[in-house]
Each structure stands twice: as structure tokens, then as C-alpha cells.
Structure 1
Amino acid sequence: MSDAFVARSLEEVRFWSRIMKEHSLFLKLGFRCEDTQLINEANQFYAIFEAIENRANAFTMGTDPHVIKKFNEEVHNAVSYIWAFKRKVLGLILRCQLPGANNFPLLVDHVSREANYFRNRLSELNKGTLEPLPDAIIDENVFFLRIMADHAKFISHLLDPSERKLVEQANHFSQEFDQLLFQAKDLESMRPQSQTVPLLDQFLDQNRVSVKSLRDFKKTARDLIEACKIKSIIHPLLADHVFREAEHFLIIIDMFENSLTGKPVQVRFDH
């Protein structure tokens, strides 16, 4: 195990533990007041991932890799539990056992997919079995393009219907990212023949342009929501949450681009 293992582990846990913590809050806000058991479980998960986040922030690049490996195992366990909680909630909603609650089924599925992604990443890091670069480029983009498409749909549905221009923009991004996802799935099904450097380079460039546009739209929406300048039922933290995930995707695209073209790859902790 190496410095790269420590750096990558801390980057992933610092980012995703905060995301899991915030998922707990968003799910809680969508439950009905009588759903006390679900609210209590969400509160417990919030506390668990806040503690994980704090521990991750206290580690440094000088921390013993074996300590980080054990920490990753603990985090993996916690993520498995929150994944199961999210799938339980999704089942309750789809069986119409939470009528009047405000969590979209797609949103609950979305946050469970992110938990599963985080859990798999921790396993890969601890086993030292990260995917080869060409596979990782396609698989990560398939995952994150769907996440971005979902975000656009959530924004569209949580804005007040009278915010017609913003709703139209969000719907445009939804359609754009659905198309990008279909293209990524096509590249996925064509592999390994599709995994040439020119094709993957163009794939990353195209996605970067669209993700930057969506990131900027999310930033504008976040700033307007925080300033109470638009009508919506979007929590300000949710607006910032989806902005940070777009930023994270852009960092991943840049890391892939650097790896593909032989440039130095930096692990960043500032997002």
C-alpha cells in the first residue's frame, strides 16, 4: 500500500461521507411527521456519517496505510447499512405505504445508487483492484452522466411551476444528459473495440463541455435560492449538494484526461 492509496481513499471518503450525511437530511425532510421510525433512522445515519467525515478530515497523507484500510472497512460497513435503508424506503414508497411523503422514488433510487458506488469504490481501493483506465473512463461516465440527468429532472420538478424559464432550462439539461448517457452506453457496448485513445479523448471533451454548462446552471440556481430570488421548494443545501457533485465529476474527467494523455494526475481535497 502506498501514498497514492491513502490520498485516493481520503479524497473519496471526505467527499462521499458528506454526501451520505446530506442524503440522510434530505430523506428526513421528505418523510411525513408521523414517520418517526424513519426519521430516527435518518438522524442516526446523519450522525454516523458526520462522525466519519470528521475522522476522515483528521487523517493526513502521513497516516499509516493500514490504518486507512481499516477505516475504509468501517466506512464500507456504514455505507452498506445506509444503502439498505434507502432501498427499504424506496420499497415503501413504491408499495404506496408512505402516501403524502415528499421523496420522489427516482430520488431515493438515485441516492442508493450513489451509496452503492461509494461502497464499491471502497472495496476496489482496499483490494487494489481499480479498473484499467479505458474501462474506468466509460464506466464512471455512464454512472455520473445518469446522476447529472437525474439532477436536472429533480431541479425541474422542485422549482415552482411559475419559474418557467428555469424549468425550461432544467428540462433542456435533462434531455441533453439523457442523450449523453445513451452515447456513453453505446460506447460501453462497443468495447473493447471502442476503447481507442482518440474516441475516449473526444468522449471526455464532449462530456466536459456539457457538465461545465450544467455546473454553471446549478451554481446560478444555488445562488438565487440562497438569496431567496426564485420560487422553489429546493433546500439551499440540496442546491449546493448537486453543484458539488457536478464539480466532482469535472475533477474526475480532468483526472482521466491527464491519465489518457500522460500528464501528471493530482488528487484534490478542496471540494
Structure 2
Amino acid sequence: MNKLNMANPIVIRSLDEIQFWSRIMKEHALFLSLGFTHDQKQLIAEAHYFINLFEQIEEKLTRFNANTDIHHIQAFNNEVYQAAVAIWGYKRKVLGLILRCEIQTQNNYPLLVDHVSREAAYFAKRLKDLNKGKLAPEPDTIIKENLFFLKIMADHAKFIGHLLDPSERKLVEQAREFSHDFDQLVFQAIDLDSMRPQSETVPILDQFLDQNRVSVASLRDFKKTARELIEACRIKSNIHPLLADHTFREAERFLEIIDLFDSHLSKTAKKK
């Protein structure tokens, strides 16, 4: 039997989560550091600390593979979990400083800081769940995870619209339309969540995923176009090229998760 087929799925999923989210956390720290004013040296230094911390995690990640003993992976998950919790605490501290008007920043507005802190909390929870052996999604997980990502996508649309130059009227309008679309999807997900457990049927969840997939794919394509235009300096904006790529990768991630959930529902339906 092929060794890869014998690999523990918890190991494979853990490495995948760490590879994706550690890069995201590192980039969050970079974006926050760029959004502070020059006199906020302590906050900038803390951001650089997290950039280095997650770079070290990325380096350690290269030492593991799908056949690594699960106990080593669990220990690594715990280490990365501590880093995720630490950067979450830093982000929430920054949010508090902003909301109490104790600091003024450039582009670190409250919703963005809250947004990146929610992603850190999500990453930490994923690692915790994996170390508990939770892999196959439960029906409530499907709803809650989609709700999380739908809010992330809605935020992205708002950020893009906010950071585009106002003269880019067509793109700004498109971003607003995506913001409205995803706000509606968020409300639908909240309604579905409030109907649990009765809403946790395969047909309803299947339709839920299909609807989300169409909207996420459309937003992903918009982000891809925006990224290419920004990289080619063909549009006017305050969007860092790395930020454009960052939001594109998160849309791609959401689509992958929708496909994973869809596959799980198909298997569940066949068993019945």
C-alpha cells in the first residue's frame, strides 16, 4: 500500500491549515505595521515580532510531511496554537486602542482590525479541533463555517471599495454590489443557523453550499482581475499588491472548503 494512503488525515489537514493560515497571519502583521503612524514604534515592533514568529513557523513546517508521526504534529499544532492566540490578543489590543481613541492610525480602521482578529481566532480553533481528532464536519459546522467565511467575504468587498480611488467609479460600484450580495448571504446564514437543528438536512445544506459557491466564485474572479490590474498599475488605489493577492487566496480557500463540505454531504446522502 502506498505510504501516503496510510497517512493520518489529521496530520495532512493540520499541515494544510498551518501552511495556509501562518502565511495569512504573517501578512496581517505586515499590513497592520504599514497602517500605523511613524511614532507608534512599539506597536510596529510588536507587528514585526509576529512577522518573524510566523516566518519561523513556516520554516519549521518544512520539516514535516504527511507521514510524520501524529504526536509530533499535535505538539506542533499546540505551538502554532499559542502563536495564533498571541497574535489574536495583539489584534484585539490594537482594536481597543483605536475604539477608545487612544491612537490614530492610517489604514487600520476598526472593522479591518476586528476582521483579522476573527481570522486568528478561527485559526486557533481549527488547530484545537484537529488536536481533538475532529475532522469530518458536522451539519452545524457547515453552517457556522460558511457564516464565518461569508462575513469575511463581505468585509473584503467593503475594504476593496474603501481603498479604491473614488474616481474608479465602476470598480467601486462593483465592490458595493458584492458587499450587498454577501451581506444578504450572511443574513441568510444567520437565519439558517437559528433554525438548527431542524435546518440541518442534506437538501437544505446542499442548496446553501451551491448558492454560496456561485457568489464566492464571482467575487474570487473580481479579486483576481483587481489583483492583476493593481500589479500592472492600471488602476488607482491604496491597495497593496500583496493585500490584493491575500484576499484572492482567502476566496479560493472558501471555495475549497465548500467543495470539502459538498463531498461530505454527498457521502452522507449515499450512506442513507
Please indicate, yes or no, whether the TM-score normalized by the shorter chain is above 0.5.
Answer: yes
1:29 to 34, 40, 51: 34
Does residue 87 (structure 1) correspond to residue 92 (structure 2)? The answer is yes
Give the C-alpha shift of residue 2 in structure 1.
Answer: 6.2
Give the C-alpha shift of residue 257 in structure 1.
Answer: 0.5
- Structure 1 residues 131-186: Cα deviation after superposition (integer angstroms, max 9, x where no partner): 74211110110000000000000000000000000000000000000000100111
Does residue 181 (structure 1) correspond to residue 186 (structure 2)? The answer is yes
Contact kept in structure 2, 1:27 and 1:42, CA below 8 Å = yes
Give the C-alpha shift of residue 101 in structure 1.
Answer: 2.9
Counterpart of 1:64? 69
Does residue 143 (structure 1) correspond to residue 148 (structure 2)? The answer is yes
Contact kept in structure 2, 1:3 and 1:61, CA below 8 Å = yes
Q: How does 1:1-271 map to 2 (within 5 A)?
A: 3-130=8-135, 132-262=137-267
Q: Structure 2: which amino acid aligns with 1:151?
A: H
Contact kept in structure 1, 2:29 and 2:50, CA below 8 Å = yes
2: distance between equivalents of 1:115 and 1:132?
Answer: 20
Bigger mean CA offset, 62-71 vs 100-109: 100-109
TM-score by length of 2: 0.94
Runs of 4+ with >3 A deviation: 129-132
Give the C-alpha shift of residue 24 in structure 1.
Answer: 0.3
Counterpart of 1:268? none
- Secondary structure of 2:62's match? helix
Bigger mean CA offset, 101-110 vs 172-181: 101-110
Q: Structure 1 unaligned segments of length 5 or more: list them.
A: 264-271
2: distance between equivalents of 1:171 and 1:133?
Answer: 33
Contact kept in structure 2, 1:2 and 1:65, CA below 8 Å = no
Bigger mean CA offset, 222-231 vs 124-133: 124-133
- Structure 1 residues 215-263: Cα deviation after superposition (integer angstroms, max 9, x where no partner): 0000000000000000000000000000000000000000000110029
Q: Structure 2: which amino acid aligns with 1:124?
A: D
Percent of counterpart pairs with the same letter? Answer: 68
Q: Structure 2: which amino acid aligns with 1:145?
A: L
Q: Structure 2 unaligned segments of length 5 or more: list them.
A: 1-5
Give the C-alpha shift of residue 205 in structure 1.
Answer: 0.3
Contact kept in structure 1, 2:137 and 2:261, CA below 8 Å = no
Give the C-alpha shift of residue 95 in structure 1.
Answer: 1.1
Q: 1:192 to 1:43 in 2, by over 3 A?
A: same
Counterpart of 2:3? none
Q: Structure 1: which amino acid aligns with 2:230?
A: I
Contact kept in structure 1, 2:35 and 2:105, CA below 8 Å = no
1: distance between equivalents of 2:164 and 2:194?
Answer: 36
Contact kept in structure 1, 2:35 and 2:108, CA below 8 Å = yes
